Structure 1
Amino acid sequence: MPVPKSTVENSPRKLLRDVVLEKMLAAIQDGTLQAGERLNDDELVQWLGVSRTPIREAIAKLVDYGLVEMEANRYTRIATPNAKQYDEALQVSLGIAELAVRWSFPKLDETDLAQLVDVLENLRVHAENEDRATNDDISDFLELLVRVADNELLATFTTSLVPRVKFLALTADEFIFWDVKHAVDPLAAAARGRDGEAGAAVMRSLARAVDDHLKTLRAARA
């Protein structure tokens, strides 16, 4: 008789390079791998318990993300973030967020909306307490919107942008815009109304506020 089909859905298996990439990203974010630190193949093999091939594939991705610098026959090292790179990456991410809001808000179903509201509430709490987890909330917000927007090119670009922004945010705590908390209620209201244009307007206003904030900080440091 024919073999019956399984009723249990198999979750997709992650490629080794993706597992390695996730571990290395986490190590960069928590400071285990520090800016300027050289990466040694043998040490990475021992730490990660895999062969050189998936490690090199993951490193190639980290180079694409701007988190690792490589020069043939000289060095492979964790990049050193600077303020200009952070400003540029933040500017791009806010532009992407505006597009994602405009395209995703009209498509939100009730489950997506509930998840979005939870993310925004986490953002409010962390920003009010000046907690670095604010950066993770912003990433969660953007990634959720990009998923709902269902635009493959936008998703591909965001995949490389989000780790770069989070890495560059390590430059200094004072560059985090804690007043992002004031955008939570307007964004939640626009999301509930499935109003992409209203949400995009909030993002544009937020982008201007962030730009003014950074210019003020730069001027004070000059």
Structure 2
Amino acid sequence: MPVPKSTVENSPRKLLRDVVLEKMLAAIQDGTLQAGERLNDDELVRWLGVSRTPIREAIAKLVDYGLVDMEANRYTRIATPSAKQFDDALQVMLGFAELGARWGVPKLDAAGEKAALGIIEDLRSHAESEDRAVNRDLTALLVLLVRATDNALLETFTGSLVPRVQFLALTAEEFIFWDVKQALDPLRAAVTGRDGEAAAAVIRALARTLDDHLQTLRAARA
């Protein structure tokens, strides 16, 4: 692994292990840490500029997320994702999105509505220009709706699932789903009307369409 210049700063607002976790997540997403790559404590200490303790705590969290494989006294390495793992994680994430829409949309305050509508417009723009930022927008909308539910358990589960889906999506180019723009007008109407059931129905229909899209692409490649 090339060892970049350390960018970790001690922050009074975050535990050091959380800062390390964010840096390692970003490194996995941008390819600095690649699938199958073994993690070496000494290299990570030099790169991150911290002791082994917060690094090991961050790695334990990455194991929980499914992003790192570990076997005691043998190896610690970045996981190698499969299409089946991606499909499973995406299915669960879309289920959480449906729950977030059903329970969260009716609870949106004015600021929450404004934020949701802004993300929807970003989705429209990025889908029309076929910008990969579509995936980031979808994640942002999911997180916003789940937070609006005020359900701590759902938020905890979503927080651990999102990094896993983002990691698994690195091997699934077909996850870039430009046709999401077809769902945006009814979703916008549901948000402005605080209609959780209508918003959930939009997400459910989108999930079915995305599943058909993935299966068609994979059948064509087989």
* Same structural fold, with TM-score higher than 0.5 when normalized by the shorter chain: yes
Tell which structure's C-alpha radius of gyration is larger. Answer: 1
Secondary structure in 1 matching 2:126: helix
Structure 1: runs of 5 or more not aligned: 1-10
Partner of 1:60: 60
Counterparts of 2:159 and 2:86, CA distance in 1? 17
Task: Give, as a single letter, the amino acid of the residue that structure 2 aligns with 1:156.
Answer: T
SS at match of 1:73: coil
1:185 CA drift (Å): 1.3
What is the number of residues matched between the two proteins?
A: 212
State the Cα distance separating 1:12 from its structure 2 match: 6.8
Residues in 1 aligned to 2:132 and 2:33: alpha-carbon distance in whole angstroms: 18
Match of 1:145 in 2: 145
Conservation of the 8 A alpha-carbon contact between 2:38 and 2:76? yes
1:67-146 equivalences under 5 Å are 67-146=67-146
Give 1:37 deviation, angstroms.
1.1
Contact 2:35 2:78 in 1 (8 A): yes
One-letter amino acid of the counterpart of residue 133, structure 2: A
| 1:78 Cα deviation from its structure 2 partner | 0.8
What is residue 30 of structure 1 aligned with on the other side?
Answer: 30
Percentage of pairs with the same residue:
76
Inter-partner Cα distance in structure 2 for 1:175 and 1:152: 28
Tell me how far 1:218 sits from its aligned partner. 1.8
Q: What is the one-letter code of the residue matched to 1:112?
A: G
Q: Does the aligned pair in 1 maintain the 2:174–2:214 contact within 8 Å?
A: no
Q: Does 1:19 align with 2:5?
A: no
**d(CA) in 2 for partners of 1:109 and 1:84?**
38
Counterpart secondary structure, 2:50? coil
Q: Say which SS state the counterpart of residue 77 (structure 1) adopts.
A: strand
Distance (whole Å) between structure 1 residues aligned to residue 131 and residue 164 of structure 2: 19
Task: Return the offset for 1:54.
Answer: 0.5
Q: CA deviation at 1:176?
A: 2.1
* 1:5 alignment counterpart: none
Contact 2:106/2:194 (CA < 8 Å) preserved in 1?
Answer: yes
Q: Give the Å deviation of 1:201.
A: 0.7
- Kept in 2, the 8 Å contact 1:21–1:59? The answer is yes
Do the aligned residues in 1 keep the contact of 2:102 with 2:200 (CA within 8 Å)? yes
Structure 2 residue aligned with 1:203? 203
With structure 1 as the length reference, what TM-score do the two structures score? 0.92
1:130 alignment partner, SS class? coil
Q: Given the superposition, is the C-alpha separation of residues 12 and 157 from structure 1 closer, same or farther in structure 2, using an over 3 Å criterion?
A: farther
**2:3 corresponds to:** none
Shift of 1:100: 0.3
Output one character per residue of 1:94-125: Cα deviation in whole Å (capped at 9) or x when no partner.
Answer: 11100000001111111110111111111122
The alignment partner of 2:39 has SS state of coil
Separation in 1 of the partners of 2:21 and 2:183? 32
CA contact (8 A) 1:105 1:191 kept: yes
Please give the alpha-carbon distance, in whole angstroms, between the structure 2 residues aligned to 1:210 and 1:52. 42
CA distance in 1, matches of 2:129, 2:164: 24
Q: Give a deviation string over 1:146-180, Cα, whole Å, max 9, x none.
A: 11111011001001000011111101322322211
Letter in structure 1 aligned against 2:54: P
Cα pair 1:132 1:173 within 8 Å, conserved: no
Measured on the aligned residues, the alpha-carbon RMSD in Å equals 1.3
Report the AA paired with residue 84 of structure 1. K
1:160 aligns with 2:183: no
